[in-house]
């Protein structure tokens, strides 16, 4: 959701030493958003204050307020920034996966990597916070939906499945299972068992799909 961009382009203008305003602005914005995510991962939502965010970003209180009027604003923008980063992460992982016949296994592994990392923990914080925060929820939902759809597209294209309704169902089952497992990981569940569960799920998927 594009917030107001008063000037036109983010393109390479800074060949000379000086920075254009748009560049300065984008830079502080990014610093604030990254710091926000860091705080969410390290401190959790409850302990994340705008003071701390500003300190980590090396940005003054006023600058923060110039870019994001309220804390909810900042968090909403962080969601978007976050899902973009997760999307990139998944795409990167997809590119580095070796090709082979085991499409389904690869797909599951891919989703697991994308939805169980540290970035995912930050998303979890915001989701849970959003449950009781209507403003945040409204900001998160569309972005999350977009991430889901693009991931589904990537998933199907990677596994080479025809985009049938059944494939989609299996995809969402996988995503939800992985989210549950990610939660288990967060609270320090048994990693070995998680691995077993994931392997079993792959087996089930292959068996089910081949029917």
Partner DNA sequence: TAGAAAACATTCCAATTGGAAGGTAAGTTC
Partner DNA sequence: GAACTTACCTTCCAATTGGAATGTTTTCTA
Q: Which of 16, 131 has the CB closer to DNA?
A: 16
Among 10, 66, 157, 163, binds DNA (CB under 7 A): 66
208/211 Cα distance (integer angstroms): 6
Around Cβ 104, how many Cβ atoms within 10 Å? 21
CB neighbour list of residue 189: distance below 8 Å, 6 or more residues apart: none
CB neighbour list of residue 150: distance below 8 Å, 6 or more residues apart: 87
Residue 75 lies near its own copies (rule: CB under 8 A): no
Site string for DNA, 130-169 (x = CB under 7 A): ----------------------------------------
Among 91, 152, 175, 206, binds its own copies (CB under 8 A): 175
Three-state SS at 125:
helix
- Measured distance between the N- and C-terminal CA atoms of the chain, rounded to whole angstroms: 42
Chosen from its own copies, DNA, none, partner binding at 119 (C-beta under 5 to 8 Å by type):
none
Among 18, 95, 162, 187, binds DNA (CB under 7 A): 18
**Of 82, 198, 78, residue with least CA distance to 147:** 82
**Of 158, 155, 157, 181, residue with least CA distance to 169:** 155
Chosen from DNA, its own copies, none, partner binding at 157 (C-beta under 5 to 8 Å by type):
none
Residue 45 lies near its own copies (rule: CB under 8 A): yes
Beta carbon of residue 140, minimum distance to DNA (angstroms, whole number): 17
Q: Which residues bind DNA (CB under 7 A)?
A: 6-7, 13, 18-22, 24-25, 27-28, 47-52, 59-63, 65-67, 69-72
């Amino acid at each position: 959701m594009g917030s107001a961009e008063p000037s036109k382009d983010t393109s390479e203008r800074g060949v000379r030493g000086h920075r254009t305003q748009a560049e300065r602005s984008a830079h502080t914005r990014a610093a604030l958003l990254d710091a926000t995510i860091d705080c969410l991962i390290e401190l959790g939502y409850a302990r994340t204050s705008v003071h701390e965010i500003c300190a980590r970003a090396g940005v003054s209180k006023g600058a923060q307020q110039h870019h994001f009027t309220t804390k909810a604003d900042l968090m909403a923008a962080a969601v978007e920034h976050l899902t973009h980063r997760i999307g990139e992460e998944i795409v990167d992982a997809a590119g580095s996966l070796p090709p082979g016949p085991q499409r389904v296994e690869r797909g599951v592994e891919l989703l697991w990597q994308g939805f169980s990392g540290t970035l995912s923990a930050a998303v979890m914080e915001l989701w849970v916070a959003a449950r009781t925060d209507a403003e945040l929820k409204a900001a998160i939902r569309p972005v999350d939906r977009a991430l889901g759809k693009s991931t589904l597209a990537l998933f199907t294209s990677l596994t080479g499945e025809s985009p049938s309704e059944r494939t989609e169902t299996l995809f969402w089952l996988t995503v939800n299972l992985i989210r549950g497992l990610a939660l288990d990981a967060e609270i320090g569940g048994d990693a070995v068992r998680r691995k077993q569960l994931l392997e079993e799920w792959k087996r089930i998927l292959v068996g089910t799909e081949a029917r």
